[in-house]
Structure formats: C-alpha cells, structure tokens
C-alpha cells in the first residue's frame, strides 16, 4: 500500500465542508486545483531565514488530530522518505443525498448518501515511491456527526449509488490529473468527514 502523509504548513510533515439537500451532484467543471505555489516577495537578506509560505495554507488541527480543510482548499501528500510532494488535491463539493445514477442503486443502509467531489493531480515523483499510486476509495474515509461521534460503517451501500464514469479511479498513478466523486453512506445530515489514507488514524478533515 502506498505510504503517504498529510502535508502541514510549516513543513512537509511525515505523518500522514454542507448545506441543504441537493438533487444531484454538480456537473464536473473539468477544472483542476490551483496547484501553483503561493507567490512570495523577492528574498532580502533579512527575509532569507524566514520560512516560506506553504502552498497548502495555514496548519489548523482538529480535536481528532486531523488537518482541517475548507471546500476548495489545497491539500497534498509526500513520500515518507523525502520532502517531495507526490500529489495535490482539493475537495471541491460535498452533496447530501445526491441522485444515484448507477441504475442498480440500493437504499442507503445508514439513511443518507453523501457525495464528495475531488480534483487530484499527482506528480511525476510519485513513480519513485515504493508504491507508485494513491487511492481515494470509500474505505479511506471516516465520518462523524455534528457532536463529533464517529459513525459506524460509512461505506454501507455507497458502492451502488453512482455510475462508474462519475467515480474516481481506484488507483491513481504518477503524473495524472483526475476529477470524480466518492460516495459515503452516513446517518448524520451534518458533521465531518475525514480522509485517512493507508490505514492512518488521522488525515484531512472537512465539515459538511
């Protein structure tokens, strides 16, 4: 399994948002995240020792130990053996009770489907890692209610909701740019979702 970690603002750490119900997932805009680094002023002797701003923004950690992100905010991963960025991604939308399009959808086991749309770009350097791919499957996600109680089985019947053409690929290799949906099966109509890759207990967190 690919070993990756959330990137914090001050350094590339080696540790590894929802409104009313929407009738259907928004059409994919085709846009990818703004992956350009944050612009910095020309270095001066007095500024050379100051840390450069991170392209991933300020580090904010939740009570669950996750890096807190807003809809549209850039996040990323790095290889465990180096400070090299291996992917940049953003959650661009979270939709409660999206319209299922697979043609064989089952009712949500836990009450509600929750669609999460992501734009993802991997870097060529991902090819140098021991496991040269990343995944964003339902099994990489956790869900919590508004009080912070973790929800059991956020996968449920989510696999049956969307047509495969709307879903993210299971594995994403080096130098690729993809957009697609992940669907969870949750009991709470508002709360938090966490992306925790590679079996890590912590990762990135969004409110919905």
CA–CA dist 164, 148 (Å, integer): 31
Q: Is 149 helix (H, G, I), strand (E, B) or coil?
A: coil
Identify the pLDDT of residue 156: 97
**CA dist 132 to 34, 139, 171, 200, Å?**
23, 19, 9, 18
Identify the pLDDT of residue 52: 55
Identify the pLDDT of residue 83: 82
R_g of the chain, CA atoms, integer Å: 17
Identify the pLDDT of residue 121: 98
| Nearest C-alpha neighbor of 13 from the set 144, 179, 200 | 200
Identify the pLDDT of residue 79: 83
CA–CA dist 95, 206 (Å, integer): 12
Identify the pLDDT of residue 54: 80
Identify the pLDDT of residue 53: 67
Whether the model clears a pTM of 0.85, i.e. scores above it, the answer is no
Question: How do the pLDDT tens digits run along the chain, 208 residues long?
Answer: 344 445 543 333 333 333 333 334 444 444 444 433 333 334 334 433 444 568 999 999 999 999 999 999 999 999 877 789 999 999 999 999 999 999 999 999 999 999 999 999 999 999 998 889 999 999 999 999 999 999 999 999 999 999 999 999 999 999 999 999 999 999 999 999 999 998 788 899 999 9
Residue-wise burial string across 103-126, b where 16 or more C-beta atoms lie within 10 A, e elsewhere: eebeebebebbbbbbbbbbbbebb
Beta bridge partners of 192: 144, 207
Q: Tell me which architecture the domain covering 4-20+53-207 has in CATH.
A: Sandwich (2.60)
């Amino acid at each position: 399994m690919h070993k990756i970690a959330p990137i914090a603002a001050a350094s590339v750490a080696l540790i590894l948002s929802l409104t009313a119900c929407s009738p259907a997932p928004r059409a994919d805009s085709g846009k990818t995240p703004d992956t350009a680094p944050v612009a910095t002023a020309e270095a001066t002797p007095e500024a050379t020792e100051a840390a450069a701003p991170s392209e991933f923004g300020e580090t904010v950690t939740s009570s669950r130990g996750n890096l807190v992100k807003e809809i549209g905010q850039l996040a990323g991963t790095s290889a465990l053996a180096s400070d090299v960025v291996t992917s940049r991604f953003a959650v661009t939308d979270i939709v409660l009770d999206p319209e299922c399009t697979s043609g064989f959808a089952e009712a949500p086991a836990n009450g509600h489907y929750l669609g999460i749309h992501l734009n993802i770009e991997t870097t060529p350097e991902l090819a140098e890692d021991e496991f040269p791919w990343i995944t964003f499957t339902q099994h990489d996600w956790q869900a919590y209610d508004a009080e912070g109680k973790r929800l059991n089985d956020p996968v449920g019947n989510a696999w049956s909701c969307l047509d495969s053409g709307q879903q993210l690929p299971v594995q994403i290799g080096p130098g690729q740019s993809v957009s697609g949906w992940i669907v969870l099966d949750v009991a709470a109509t508002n709360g938090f979702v966490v992306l925790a890759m590679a079996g890590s207990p912590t990762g990135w967190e969004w409110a919905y």
